Amino acid sequence: MTMLIFSRAVFPALICIGLAACAGPAPAPDPSIGADTGRSSHSSGIAYRDRPIHVIESAPPQVNVKDDPRLGSATARIGIVEFSDYQCFYCRNFHQKQFAQIRKEYIDTGVAQFVHKDLPLRTHAQAVPAAMVAHCAGAQGRFWDMHDALFIHQGRLGQNLYAELARQMNLDETKFNTCLESQAYVRSIGRDVGAARQLGLTGTPSFLIGTIEGDVLTIVRQSRGAPEFAVFVQEIEKLRQPPAVAPR
């Protein structure tokens, strides 16, 4: 079986997207951003578990989720969008803890759809390459398998791991390599970064919760950082309630 080969011309160009995520005026300093708790050499992002999801008070903004990887029933009217970075410790922590419960209670039961968007941080050299690997695996129907594997092996992100995982998943390596070398998903990753910037999201993980119809999520609540499962439950249950009928 052929070894996975990465063109040197590919990744430097991709990393520019990660830089673009933090371009422009810098946000106010926050001591929790990029803080390393000592639990992982790749720790970064935000751990705002003590901060509640806030309600969007103005006219509800919308975000397009067309072509984004999704889990759940296409008829589910509640949507959860995660902006994530494969090298972020807190993103991995969310998928190892809260996400399993959310999937069991709401995604697999047809209540909610879960949507992945990329927000590679400029401090993470492997964030964009890993995102490309996940999407190129997705082109062969293995996005979520690769997504999960990248978080499981977060401490080993790099060319050797990507080649190993491609072999383990029995991917067509010729197609996989061609996908990576052609930078097929650069634009989609860039669109995710642009969407995050428009919403003022600068850290990972960040979440949008709202109602979803077709390819459009109308945002009702937004969170920087991963709330506890109980908070997700509270917000999802609010959206499950029928809209109040104004008195005549």
pLDDT per position as a tens digit, 175-218: 999 999 999 999 999 999 999 999 999 999 999 999 999 999 99
Instruction: Give the mean pLDDT of 218-232.
Output: 93
The whole-number pLDDT of residue 31 equals 27
The whole-number pLDDT of residue 11 equals 34
**Who has greater pLDDT, 21 or 74?**
74
The 10 Å CB-count burial string (b at 16+, else e) for 47-65 is bbeeeebeebeeeeeebeb
- C-alpha 27/C-alpha 12 separation (Å) is 25
- C-alpha 112/C-alpha 211 separation (Å) is 9
Q: Is the pLDDT of residue 73 over 90?
A: yes
The whole-number pLDDT of residue 168 equals 97
Locate tokens 């499962």: which residue?
229
Q: Is the pLDDT of residue 106 over 70?
A: yes
Class of the CATH domain delimited by 10-23+35-240: alpha beta
CA distances from 106 to 8, 54, 215 (A): 42, 21, 19
- How many CB atoms within 10 Å of residue 123? 16
pLDDT 10s digits, 21-50: 233 222 322 322 232 223 333 333 333 333
Reported as a pLDDT band with limits 50, 70 and 90, residue 75 is very high
- C-alpha 107/C-alpha 47 separation (Å) is 24
**Who has greater pLDDT, 42 or 108?**
108
The whole-number pLDDT of residue 189 equals 96
The whole-number pLDDT of residue 16 equals 35
- For the chain, what are the domain ranges? 10-23+35-240
- C-alpha 242/C-alpha 153 separation (Å) is 42
Cβ–Cβ under 8 Å, residues 81 and 117: yes
Rg (CA), the chain: 18
Structure tokens at 233: 């439950």
The whole-number pLDDT of residue 241 equals 84
Cβ–Cβ under 8 Å, residues 81 and 63: yes
The whole-number pLDDT of residue 198 equals 92
The whole-number pLDDT of residue 247 equals 61
Q: Is the pLDDT of residue 3 over 50?
A: no
The whole-number pLDDT of residue 149 equals 98
pLDDT 10s digits, 122-177: 999 999 999 999 999 999 999 999 999 999 999 999 999 999 999 999 999 999 99
